[in-house]
Structure 1
Amino acid sequence: MPDAFYLPTDDPDRYLCTPATEGPWSSGLQHGGPPCALLTRAVERTPSSLDGPAQVSRITVEFLGAVPVDEVTVRAAVARSGRSVELVEAELHAAGRVALRARVWRIRRTPVELPVEVTGAAVPPPPRPAEPSRFTEPRWQIGYLRAIDWRFVAGHFERPGPASAWARQRIPLVAGEEPSPLQRVALLADSGNGLSRLLEMERWWFINTELTVHLHRQPSDDWLHVSAATTLDGQGSGLAETVLSDAAGPLGRGAQALMVGRRSG
């Protein structure tokens, strides 16, 4: 297994992709998770204009094209500054074009005394299995999928239908760095449509055109629980919805708009 998903270069904006970024749809093309996490990292490294610490409330990534397992360039900047809320935009360039574009809302982080009746007690997710899940089909243990420690609670990659699993990346996002909790969320949130697929990948494609993650609180653990379900429509579209949790309970939701069709050949 490679040492990381990406290797830094002499250019602080440019990274070399390792085989750990490869997705299940086609050899040589990246899974959506690693580039989404790399965009999130660029946003986190962008200085904030807020009065006080910043927290991310929403991440939206538009997939404008496939990302080859080669090299990528990532840049981010504040598009709308403010004292309480700001918008950060980031782009990932690959093969001479913009492949992904992200828009991230950050709000000021400050204690707020909320009424007890609106907070409630967080319901923790089911316990994490003690052992990694087993796979019988080699295609589920290559590239990105192999770089994650999957521990299924319900369902499985190898069986169509809704699924939930604890997951944690086995390697850093960028070599030599400890990934932030937010980067870990972005890396895993794009797995919802694969976790909850309803169709066989040999005969169908169901590719997400975007990923949107809303967070009502910030993650605090390196293990995340991902519970996903997919809904499809006969006109070639679909939606994958994901509940994201850590050991303390739910922290947000992810959604992916899907483009569905039969594979040729």
Structure 2
Amino acid sequence: MMSAFYLPVSDGVYRSTEHTVGPWGPDSQHLGPPSALLVRSLQALRPSLSRVTFEVLGPVPVADLTVSTSVERPGRSVELLSASLSCNGRVALTARAWHIVGSDTTAVAGGEAPSLAPPDSAVPMEIPDHWGGGYLAAVEWLSVSGGIFTPGDAQVWARPRVSVVEGSEASPLERLFAVVDSASGVSSRVDIRKWYAINTDLTVHLHRQPVGEWVGMDARTTIGPDGVGVATSVVHDVEGPVGTTAQALFVRER
């Protein structure tokens, strides 16, 4: 088995491995790996990011992907970065990120949500046989409460078992983005064998940069009466909360 979500092919081109395969079919990816791949490219421009918004323009195929990046708005204090991921000339995913130059705000820091129970107090998440392999198997999942196959709010820990790009150690930020798109999955209120609940976007705000391998999500999903849902989470590392996520959901019966 490959040891990464992607294999480097040439400058800006990456080959998708079996570990990227998502729940909707063998030819399309879970959004976690391509999000991490774009964040990796953004970190090559600036190492710290304060907000990243992804727009999902279509399924990300399990194929060779091309990544491009740019600085949209340079500045001394804040900068706007962008990245895109395409296959055969079709853009499937875009990202825009704000980089805020750091300063010492220790004296006024505060307002964080309570910390999650640590990973060593959680239990392995049960994964049914009918939905093994691919991305789900490439990530280690622990449950504090709830989880992917338990409808409703969930508190979980996760860490990728593989690197984002072969031959390159993933940064804590890459690991976080490889996981946080799953907030809508771990807190889903519907059976994905009977319903579609697909996010059209993902926005992540970070009030500090993450550390370590583990990513925690205190996640919840709300579904309205008109086919639209919203999934949110507070994201943690082992030292405490690091930010929040939000996803708009397209909800339809299969």
Q: TM-score range by the shorter chain?
A: over 0.9
2:156 is the alignment partner of 1:146: no
Q: CA deviation at 1:130?
A: 6.1
**Residue equivalent to 2:181:** 190
C-alpha distance after superposition, 1:212-259 (max 9, x if no partner): 000011101111111111000111100000110011111100110001
**Residue equivalent to 1:33:** 32
Partner AA of 1:5 in structure 2: F
Give the match's secondary structure for 1:42.
helix
**Residue equivalent to 1:58:** 51
**Residue equivalent to 2:212:** 221
Give the distance between the partners of 1:252 and 1:156, measured in 2 at CA. Answer: 20
Number of equivalenced pairs: 254
TM-score normalized by the length of structure 1? 0.91
The within-5 A match list for 1:125-164 is 125-129=116-120, 133-164=124-155
The within-5 A match list for 1:226-237 is 226-237=217-228
CA contact under 8 A between 1:122 and 1:248: conserved in structure 2?
Answer: no
**Residue equivalent to 1:51:** none
**Residue equivalent to 1:18:** 17
C-alpha distance after superposition, 1:140-182 (max 9, x if no partner): 4211110001011101222211111111110100001111111
Residue from 62, 79, 85 that aligns with 1:69? 62
CA contact under 8 A between 2:125 and 2:143: conserved in structure 1?
Answer: no
C-alpha distance after superposition, 1:82-120 (max 9, x if no partner): 0000000100002430000100000101223534xx526
Q: CA deviation at 1:33?
A: 0.4
2:247 is the alignment partner of 1:252: no
2:101 is the alignment partner of 1:108: yes
Give the distance between the partners of 2:18 and 2:73, measured in 1 at CA. Answer: 36
Give the distance between the partners of 1:121 and 1:243, measured in 2 at CA. Answer: 10
Larger Cα-atom Rg: 1
Give the match's secondary structure for 2:178.
helix
CA contact under 8 A between 1:129 and 1:152: conserved in structure 2?
Answer: no
Give the distance between the partners of 1:41 and 1:68, measured in 2 at CA. Answer: 19
Partner AA of 1:60 in structure 2: T
**Residue equivalent to 2:3:** 3
Give the distance between the partners of 1:103 and 1:21, measured in 2 at CA. Answer: 22
Q: 1:130 to 1:147 in 2, by over 3 A?
A: farther
CA contact under 8 A between 2:69 and 2:83: conserved in structure 1?
Answer: yes
Give the match's secondary structure for 1:190.
helix
Residue from 162, 165, 168 that aligns with 1:171? 162
**Residue equivalent to 1:92:** 85
TM-score normalized by the length of structure 2? 0.95
CA contact under 8 A between 1:135 and 1:141: conserved in structure 2?
Answer: no
Give the match's secondary structure for 1:114.
helix
Q: CA deviation at 1:124?
A: 2.7
C-alpha distance after superposition, 1:44-103 (max 9, x if no partner): 112x5xxxxx63110000000001111100011100000000000100002430000100
Give the distance between the partners of 2:210 and 2:188, measured in 1 at CA. Answer: 26
Partner AA of 2:128 in structure 1: E
Partner AA of 1:240 in structure 2: A
Runs of 4+ off more than 4 Å? none
Percent of counterpart pairs with the same letter? 44
Q: Note the residue ranges of structure 1 that are not aligned, 5 or more in a row.
A: 49-53
Give the match's secondary structure for 2:40.
helix
Q: 1:134 to 1:227 in 2, by over 3 A?
A: closer
Aligned CA-pair RMSD: 1.7
Give the distance between the partners of 1:69 and 1:203, measured in 2 at CA. Answer: 24
Q: 1:113 to 1:124 in 2, by over 3 A?
A: closer
Give the distance between the partners of 2:191 and 2:169, measured in 1 at CA. Answer: 35
